[in-house]
Chains A and B, each alone.
Chain A
Amino acid sequence: MIKTILTVDDSRTMRDMLRLSLEGAGFRVVQAEDGVHGLEVLAGEMPDVIVTDINMPRMDGFGFIEAVRKDDTRRSTPVLVLTTEVDAEKKSRAKAAGATGWIVKPFDPVKLVDAIRRVAN
């Protein structure tokens, strides 16, 4: 079955890159522009994996993950955080918010798909 990936990123460039990489790898891609939008999209989608940015307007990635983890039907969805930081602080904050794992930007499509494979059921 084709897996669906939800990407949440406020940057159009990143959204385009994510779409290109993920569709190229055979995933179905749905996209949102920030955390609030991400939750709206989630109301009608059951993605297999969520990939989210951290720095976003309206609701950042931390808030978004926390909201996902509070939703009884979505809380076990793996959430990968897109981050340019590799320092421990960012990772532990993402982890504390409930992230499953992370992808370090600038990602290459191989790394991205690999990380998704690692957490996708």
Chain B
Amino acid sequence: MTTDPMAAIRATFFVECEEQLGELESGLMAMEAGAADGETVNAVFRAVHSIKGGAGAFALDELVRFAHVFETTLDAVRAGRLQAAPALLSIMLRAADALADLVRVARDGGTVDAERIKGLAGELTALINPVAGAVPDAGTDMDDFDFEPVMIAETPAETKRVWNIQFKPHAELYAKGNEAGLLLRELGRLGEMTVQVDSSQLPDLADLDPEGAYLVWKICLTADCEESAIRDVFDFVEDECELEVAGAAGAEAPAEEAPPAAVPAFDVMALIGNAQEALRQEQPPPATVAVAQTPLPAALAAAIPAADAPPAGEAMGATIRVDLDRVDRLIDLVGELVINEAMLYQRSIEAGLTRASAVGIALEELERLTHEIQDGVMAIRAQPVRSVFQRMPRLVRQVAAQTGKQVRLVTEGEGTEVDKTVIERLADPLTHMIRNAIDHGLETTEQRIAAGKPAEGTVRLHALHRSGRIVIEVADDGGGINRARVRDKAIQNGLIAADAQLSDEETDNLIFLPGFSTADKISDISGRGVGMDVVRRSVQALGGRIVIASRPGLGSTFTLSLPLTLAVLDGMVVTAAGHTLIIPLGTILETLQPREGSMHALGTDLKLILMRGSYVPLADVGAALGFRSQPEESDGVAVLVEGEGGARTVLLVDAILGQRQVVIKSLEANYRAVPGIAGATVMGDGRVALIVDVDVMVNQTNSAVRAMPMPEPPAVSERTLAGVS
């Protein structure tokens, strides 16, 4: 074995450990929720068992030792000797956490709290053995693993000894796939031997059971070995045969009776032939009787060529493991293909070819295929959110313990799939949101009881697909956002004016502002000064949005909405000041043709537009991105967009060209980050179009407007707007 493949297997082992730890945890959670069915308990047992098995192979002794203690207790539960009571499950959940720590230490280095591990091992042992209840003797527990290979010879004897062995197989020996010939061959490896067959018990052919056992083998072995080495040869079959081993006195003593035709035992075929010869001499039935003794191998041998006939196709599982870089490269290439296809289409139009022409039809087919390939490639990267969700129960237990609250975590939709990149970057925001839900969202047990709620708070984590995006909800059944307190805090921190008029929704969204923290002192749990603004920023960075719905006394729901992939985007193609731009379709609420008089100036360079009776800040995209210095008094198109947190802005553009799916190219990677621009794409005509960063636009405009006094909306809603789409 070289080190390289072992390193790869070791890596696989740790990946698998994480999966097993997830299984373990969800199984224990299910048991805690009352699922004590055999399969759940088995799955939990298997998880620990697998970790132990792999750890043994890599000599991770500490891990093996703890896993073994854990497994032993689980085995008692599986066998029904222990009841899966809440107290037991609580110990097991903590043991699962400890096991996870041991795995990570084994993988990443570092140390574990040995006392904690020892204590838990003690608790686990005490469950099965309440009388002893002591910390298990690690030495005893490890005995299993020091098992020596059966073939290792005992201390060599000084002299060669002669052994007389009598071996009488039972029928079961053959039924379980063992063969006398192979055992004799094995015995022959110990030294020189001669073999005799006693076929006196062989019945007449008519009475012969083809699967019976009638032969007795007498072996005379000259070898420098102990009796145990001889018995080890028969280790697998000790209950399926009669075996007598007797040492003959004296070295190099010849066998008492010389066998008829002794052959070196290494040649098994000769040995069997010898046996058959012996049969022929002593018994009238033909030599095939010996074959009848073990009829199946003959059938097997005949079948082997048939089995070799199909190509050596691996009967592997339905999954393969592929280097992520290869998939990413493929995604990049498909992106190029999509752009190329669009360019080809553009050229065909320029060449005057219609959709109905032969080229047009072929191009349409190409377009369909290209998009199917694109979807297929994207699906390769899709993974269920389970891997992230699985980390949350442990977090909930930790935070619950730190806050002294009783919390139940309910997860739904773990199978919802999303791009791997998105999953990887979901863990941090989700961790933060769940901490927040427990720390700030849920009331204390006393408060809950006083409010007539169950003492145990519930945090619900739910993933689902909705209109081409993945939506993740983190809901608590706590007291809801304390709006008065949020408002006070925001005023105190100078985030809003003391007399600012805010809707409930806007008030709730204040918690996303940088520097906002309602915790009176920086809490250990929700982080140090790291607030929901960080969550929002990381969600935004993924092209996502986060929305709060809070009902006083009933709880809050944070809804994350993220694109399924970061590689393509549905966008609206617009022009502004002669530039082609893309506005992400997901952010667009509606598009309108503003009527004369609907726009109102605010201060010197701000504008509002009156929509359905309320004012919405307006941003002239061409001016905002610096394409022109002065906002144009043009009759452009208004695009109402919503940023994260629900703030709205109308983006004024010159014209709308259409909708299309675009392949996102990073501007940051290829040029540099530009405020207001989220990325770029290549259009069908080969030109680069920039993708508008709607959140930045909305924030800039709204914060500029927030500082200004708002005009009162007219009492009667004016019909100043006409929709264009």
Mark A residues whose CB is within 8 Å of B.
Answer: 1, 4, 10-14, 16-17, 20-21, 24, 28, 30-33, 37, 40-41, 44-46, 48, 55-57, 69, 73, 75-79, 84-87, 92, 95, 98-102, 104-111, 114, 118-121
Contact = CB atoms under 8 A, between A and B. Distances in A.
A98 B314 contact: no
Nearest to B17: A13
Given A41-B315, A57-B46, A119-B177, 10 more contacts: A1-B304, A16-B8, A20-B6, A31-B314, A57-B42, A73-B303, A79-B177, A101-B178, A106-B145, A109-B1
A76 B304 CA distance: 13
A72 to B, nearest CB: 8
B491 interface: no
B512 interface: no
A120 B178 CA distance: 9
A92 B5 CA distance: 35
B12 A46 contact: no
Contact of A45 (B144, B301, B315): B315
A92 to B, nearest CB: 7
Contacts of B304: 1, 46, 48
Contact of B53 (A106, A110, A120): A106
24 contacts: A1-B304, A10-B50, A11-B16, A11-B50, A12-B15, A13-B12, A14-B54, A28-B312, A31-B315, A40-B315, A45-B315, A46-B306, A55-B42, A55-B49, A76-B177, A76-B296, A78-B177, A87-B144, A95-B240, A100-B177, A105-B53, A105-B56, A118-B236, A119-B179
Given A12-B16, A13-B9, A98 B176 contact: yes
A87 B72 CA distance: 13
Contact of A37 (B15, B56, B235, B317): B317
A30 B177 contact: no
Contacts of B16: 11-13
Nearest to B59: A106
Contacts of B297: 76, 121
Given A13-B9, A13-B54, A101 B235 contact: yes
Contact of A57 (B43, B299, B303): B43
Contact of A56 (B5, B46, B56): B46
Contacts of A17: 9, 57
B237 to A, nearest CB: 8
B249 interface: no
B272 to A, nearest CB: 12
Q: Is the interface of B mostly helix, strand, loop or mixed?
A: helix
A114 to B, nearest CB: 5
Interface in B10-57: 12-13, 15-16, 42-43, 45-46, 49-50, 52-54, 56-57
B315 A77 contact: no
Contact of A78 (B8, B46, B178): B178
B299 A76 contact: yes
B149 A114 contact: yes
B244 to A, nearest CB: 21
Most buried by B among A11, A24, A32, A78: A11
Contacts of B236: 100-102, 118-119
B250 interface: no
A37 B46 CA distance: 17
Contacts of B175: 69, 75, 98
What is the size category of the interface that chain B forms with chain A? Answer: 35 or more
B151 interface: yes
A11 B316 contact: no
Of A37, A48, A55, chain B has the most CB atoms within 10 Å of the CB of A55
B310 interface: yes
A69 B312 CA distance: 25
B119 to A, nearest CB: 25
Contacts of A48: 304
B716 interface: no
Contacts of A105: 53, 56-57
Contact of B12 (A12, A21, A37): A12
B428 interface: no
B57 A111 contact: no
B206 interface: no
A84 B56 contact: yes
Contacts of B589: none
B307 interface: yes
Interface string B208-242: 00000000000000000000000000011001100
B9 A16 contact: yes
B147 interface: yes
A110 B150 CA distance: 11
B364 interface: no
A30 B30 CA distance: 35
B149 A100 contact: no
Contacts of A79: 176-177
B182 interface: yes
A21 B304 CA distance: 23
Contacts of B50: 10-11, 13-14, 55
